[in-house]
Structure 1
Amino acid sequence: MVPPAIVFFESLLPYGLTCLGCHAVLWVIFRYLLPSSGPWHAAPNFTAHQTIALFLMIQWTLNGFFGEDDEEDMNASTNSLPVILRPSSLGMKMARRSMAALWIWDIPVSMLTSDMSSAMDALMHAHHLGMLLVTCIVMGWLTFGTASETYPNPVGATLAPLFFGQVELSSIPLQIVDLFHPKKSAAWHEYMLSRPMLVSINDACRQLFALLFLAVRGIYFPFLVFTIVIPEFWDALGWSMMEDQTKYVLPIVTILTFSVAFTLLQMYWAVLVVNQIYKAMKGGGDKKKSG
């Protein structure tokens, strides 16, 4: 078994520090090197965060759709395990990247700079903390017992490319939408309003985000949870009880609980998106009538 501390320093720390280091470099560039008349000067931290997040979402999405397992890393002795409990080199890599980015860069930076009094921001932080716990489970850090030399009893690693990769597709245009959102950054919003091209880009990203969110988070995410996650983990829970593999019980129950909670959260956000679409359409209709 690879101790979590070794995994942290050899795999998590470099990726997380790369994100944090890039954030610091971008902050300096936006604050001191670029013209001070731009919104990047007024909001260097937020601009740096959105820039890095955009690249991460693209990377994770591509890995989720096109990444492949390294068969040489698979342990043949795990073939007797339920599929959901077998190792996946791709899934483990994506879980490590997600954990590193959340733990070392995104959560600390966001909590230090965002408005914690905002219910939506607080909900997002809770979501990220929940994701952090799930990555720990995927990497096997909460599965206590003997393990192979390479993988410390992963749980759900085979599904990591779906939830840490593919579902982030909707997060790509969201980074642009958030950048120009008046409540996120008044400076960027005002800068956008004076430039028709940026207004068009923002409008296109808003429409794309709404479409992708409803398709990916509102439909695809619940579909995966109720047709794959819950059945697979429920079967694995029964197997762990029958085979006296109780080390898997707590991680499996936790994953089942969080999968339902995350699904409800996605549905809640989907309702908010639908409401925004309705308001936009209603507003457009009112404008046409008044015209």
Structure 2
Amino acid sequence: MTMAMISSLFDDIRLILPDIPFLTPLATQIGVTCLVSQIVFTVLLHKRTTILPSGPWNELPAFTAHQLVSFPLMIILTYYGMRDWFFSPLNDNTAAGITTISPHDRIFGQHHPVNDVPLAIGTGAIMLWDIPTGLLSPPLHDPLMWAHHFGMATVALLMSGQFSHGTKIMIGAYYAPYYFGVIEFSSIFLAYVDVFHPKYRYYDEWLNDPKRESHTKMKVLKSLNDVCRAMFALSFLVLRGLYFPYVSFGYAIPDLWRAYITYDKTLPPPVGVPLWTGYFLIGMIGMFACLQAYWGVLVMRQVKKVLRGDEKKDKIKKVGNGKRD
């Protein structure tokens, strides 16, 4: 099947999908695709289906399906984010580029198309798939993550122009590749590492079962888990714990303030862009930056435990052990 045929198929699918308020057709398509994939994987992995060999995935089918859907999404987000943030001429993030492009242009300039893929994933996938799955699957019950993802979806909606009174003027699209792309590099490794977290007892016991530890497959999985843990910690600390607050407090928040409350009032926000959107984005980005820094501290503590060799002495409490989907 050629790329043209695949594109045509997606266009046909998009035509039969309903118009969902605040979501672009692309966002709706991505969200529905993720939701359908979640349902299909959950059914296939369920122990009553008996299609796959018995394993921990039978006890946690919805959670496993969620990770299977998350993994390619994180790769897609990382690709678009890295490409547009570091290598696209539209987003010149060198010191010279940041100083030559005005704050007003970085916030209200149309740097990316309205159907921007990362923003579409940040709205459609989160609203139609991620949050509903988290509500229905006990292992994914995490109020803090729900709040985080809901906040991300709201920010993505604002940035894609869904609250610009019908004008669809994008807000802060210059920074979208970073906030909805670059930072997800660490999530690629987390999608794998999180499966074997001690709080998911079925996977943890399966991976560390003495009867299987000599098997080549288990050795590979353990080694891969160790590598992914290290890569997650390193990438999270760099791209989220440090770089996120730097971009937010050093550039994004000041740009928002200057673009909405300009020095000489010669470049006010475009007609149709409410003033509250600027204050809301400043507040949300600031809170997210503090949250990422806090999570960075937690990750650093875990790294210290590993380096000291006392991780086994102070394991994280197994919250929700034995909970099934």
Fold similarity call, TM over 0.5: yes
Shift in Å at residue 135 of structure 1? 0.9
| Partner of residue 18, structure 1 | 33
Instruction: Give me the CA root mean square deviation.
Output: 2.8
CA distance in 2, matches of 1:200, 1:94: 31
CA contact (8 A) 2:186 2:235 kept: yes
What is the percentage of aligned positions where both structures have the same residue?
33
| CA spacing shift, 1:196–1:286, aligned 2, 3 Å | closer
In structure 1, the residue matched to 2:177 is 161
Q: 1:187 to 1:140 in 2, by over 3 A?
A: same
Question: Is residue 126–residue 153 contact of structure 2 (8 Å, CA) maintained in 1?
Answer: yes
Shift of 1:124: 1.2
Structure 1 gap ranges (5+): 72-78
AA at the equivalent of 1:268? Y
Aligned to 2:305: 279
Give 1:249's aligned residue: 275
Q: Distance in 2 between matches of 1:182 and 1:286?
A: 11
Task: Specify every segment of 5 or more residues in structure 2 that has no aligned partner in the other structure, as ranges.
Answer: 1-18, 91-101, 213-217, 314-325
Residue identity matched to 1:253:
Y
SS in 1 for 2:157: helix
Mapping 1:1-291, distance limit 5 Å: 5=20, 8=23, 10-31=25-46, 32-67=49-84, 82-89=105-112, 92-114=116-138, 121-144=142-165, 147=167, 152-183=168-199, 185-193=200-208, 194=212, 195-239=218-262, 242=265, 243=267, 245=269, 247-283=273-309
Contact persistence 2:22–2:162 (CA under 8 A): no
Normalising by structure 2, report the TM-score: 0.75
Instruction: Assess if the C-alpha contact under 8 Å between 1:15 and 1:100 holds in 2.
Output: yes
Q: 1:208 to 1:241 in 2, by over 3 A?
A: same
Aligned residues: 268
Kept in 2, the 8 Å contact 1:237–1:248? The answer is no
Following superposition, the deviation at residue 38 of structure 1 comes to 1.3
| Structure 1 residue aligned with 2:94 | none
Cα distance between partner residues in 1 of 2:262 and 2:132:
38
SS in 2 for 1:25: helix
Farther-moved stretch of structure 1 (126-135 vs 23-32)? 23-32
Residues 65, 166 of structure 1: 8 Å contact kept: yes
Q: Is the 8 A contact 2:261 2:268 kept in 1?
A: no
Deviation at 1:178, TM superposition (A): 0.5
**Range moving further from structure 2, 122-131 or 243-252:** 243-252
Give the TM-score normalised by structure 1. 0.83
Note if contact 1:69-1:88 (Cα within 8 Å) is conserved in structure 2. no
Deviation, 1:227, is 2.1
For 1:283 and 1:6, the matched residues in 2 are separated by 52
Q: Per residue, is there more helix in 1 or in 2?
A: 1
Which residue does 2:316 correspond to in 1?
A: none
